[in-house]
Amino acid sequence: PQTSYIFRHALTREVVYDSILSKKKRELHEKVGRIIEELYQDFLAEHYGALVEHFFMSENYAKAAEYLRMAARKAEKAASFPDAIAHAKKRITCLEKLPMTDEEKRKIIDARTVLGLYLAQQNYFYEAKEAVNPIVDLAIKHGSKKRLCQIYTILGTYHYFVDEDLPKAIQELEEALRIANEVKDIVGSALGSFWLGV
């Protein structure tokens, strides 16, 4: 009842795959992704990787980005930060391929901030700053205060650990705390307080 077919040699698989027209490949990947969603709807978490790849290859970047968000959260909960970082980076790639609507801009703010937080937790302060730099003005413009307090925390840790600019670090962290208190963000407040204490 569960017949499956495999290629015994990777080269055979590659030749067959490469012989399919690009448009047809995209259609097939989309169909496979939708079938996986349908067949495994009760336990999709086990199939995030396959879903991401099929929707990415079908150029359905919106779906790929959503599954990458969920895969990153799953990796984060398992304390697998290298995987969470990889998923977050690929999510940004997907989101940046979509038309820049206000909704997509909010998702990019979210994705880049999450990546910055993952990187900062691994003490990659320079990389964390690079992740959030492109969205600081966008986050201010969109009034994404919860993300702004996290962004300022990331920038504060960068200024402290990398630039060794203590006044700038304190300024950024105090701004993070001010915003966190304003929006009653307990996590932002805890992060800002912790780093300010350091």
pLDDT for the residue numbered 167: 96
Q: Which residue bears the tokens 């080269």?
A: 11
Per-residue confidence band for 181, with pLDDT thresholds at 50, 70 and 90: very high
Give the separation between CA 166 and CA 156, rounded to whole angstroms. Answer: 9
Give the separation between CA 90 and CA 94, rounded to whole angstroms. Answer: 6
Give the separation between CA 28 and CA 182, rounded to whole angstroms. Answer: 49
99 exposed, middle or buried (CB, 10 Å; 0-12, 13-18, 19+)? Answer: exposed
- Taking residues 37-59, report their average pLDDT: 93
DSSP reduced 3-state for 82: helix
Query: Do the beta carbons of residue 158 and residue 149 sit within 8 Å?
Result: no
- Taking residues 121-134, report their average pLDDT: 97
What crossing angle do the helices spanning 125-132 and 145-161 adopt, rounded to 10°?
Answer: 140
Per-residue confidence band for 2, with pLDDT thresholds at 50, 70 and 90: confident
pLDDT for the residue numbered 19: 62
Per-residue confidence band for 7, with pLDDT thresholds at 50, 70 and 90: low
For 21, which DSSP code? -
Give the separation between CA 188 and CA 175, rounded to whole angstroms. Answer: 11
Give the separation between CA 93 and CA 117, rounded to whole angstroms. Answer: 17
Give the separation between CA 10 and CA 14, rounded to whole angstroms. Answer: 6
Structure-block tokens of residue 43:
């336990």
Considering only residues 5 and 141, tell me which one the structure prediction assigns the higher pLDDT: 141
